[in-house]
């Protein structure tokens, strides 16, 4: 029987953790871009666009991420569309992230007083100009802490992609456990790596929120 040292186990887990980081970054960035489009739809003056954006958010927030992964990976396969595990994982996490980010940002945009809209409109600004020059800069300061905080959920959400065969950190944990028969050591290290990835993000969110509150009281 081959003996595996703790360093051997850790090295293999860290290699897989790279894919967790890559998937998190791609999903968060893609979710941000899609979420921005959904946000504009959500606050659009056109009712039909508003309803479509709201339906998207409610559908993605109201169904499990695991189900969304299954639908993209296995559902499309039923129609003869072969979707690689990494593409299905990235697509599902991107669409899921977009729904939550759009709703976070909508709340931040709505936190800007209506007087700002009225004042910018009185200067002859169109809606896009209002958003770009007046509303979004103010909403951005409020949006940063919850947005950074949500990135923690994206990192932890990558663990579910192991169910469709994507080899990220949790999937690697299962593979290494089957090879080493050391589940306590393996999953203990998996937990520590997830903590090392998520704790700085969570701490950053708290620090940004405190700074925002201090700045707000200062004004």
Is residue 4 helix, strand or coil? Answer: coil
Q: Where are the alpha helices (DSSP H) in 111-168?
A: 114-122, 127-130, 136-157
State the pLDDT at residue 166: 93
Q: What is the mean pLDDT of the chain?
A: 90
Half-sphere exposure for 39 (CA within 13 Å, toward CB): 25
Phi-psi label, residue 181: left if phi above 0, alpha if psi -120 to 50, beta otherwise: left
The closest alpha carbon to 159, from 52, 20, 34, 28, belongs to: 20
* Percentage of the residues of the chain whose pLDDT score is greater than 90: 64
Q: Which residue has the higher pLDDT, 205 or 200?
A: 200
Q: Which residue has the higher pLDDT, 74 or 124?
A: 74
- Each residue's pLDDT tens digit, 129-147: 877 778 877 888 888 889 9
Half-sphere exposure for 81 (CA within 13 Å, toward CB): 11
- Once rounded to an integer, what is the mean pLDDT over residues 46-66? 96
**pTM, full prediction:** 0.88
Distance in angstroms (rounded) separating the CA atoms of residues 139 and 212: 12
Does pLDDT of 1 surpass 50? no
């Amino acid at each position: 029987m081959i003996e595996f040292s703790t360093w051997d186990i850790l090295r293999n887990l860290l290699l897989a953790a790279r894919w967790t980081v890559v998937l998190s970054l791609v999903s968060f960035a893609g979710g941000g871009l899609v979420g921005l489009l959904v946000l504009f739809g959500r606050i659009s003056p056109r009712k039909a666009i508003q309803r479509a954006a709201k339906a998207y958010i409610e559908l993605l927030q109201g169904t499990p991420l695991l189900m969304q992964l299954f639908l993209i990976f296995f559902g499309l396969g039923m129609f003869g569309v072969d979707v690689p595990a990494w593409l299905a994982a990235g697509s599902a996490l991107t669409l899921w992230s977009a729904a939550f980010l759009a709703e976070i940002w909508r709340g931040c945009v709505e936190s800007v007083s209506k007087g700002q809209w009225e004042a910018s409109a009185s200067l002859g600004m169109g809606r896009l100009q209002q958003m770009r020059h007046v509303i979004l800069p103010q909403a951005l300061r409020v949006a940063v802490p919850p947005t950074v905080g949500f990135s923690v959920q994206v990192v932890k959400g990558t663990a579910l992609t192991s169910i469709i065969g994507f080899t990220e950190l949790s999937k690697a944990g299962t593979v290494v456990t089957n090879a080493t028969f050391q589940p306590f050591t393996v999953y203990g290290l998996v937990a520590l790596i997830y903590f090392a990835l998520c704790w700085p993000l969570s701490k950053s969110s708290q620090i940004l929120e405190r700074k925002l509150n201090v700045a707000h009281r200062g004004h």
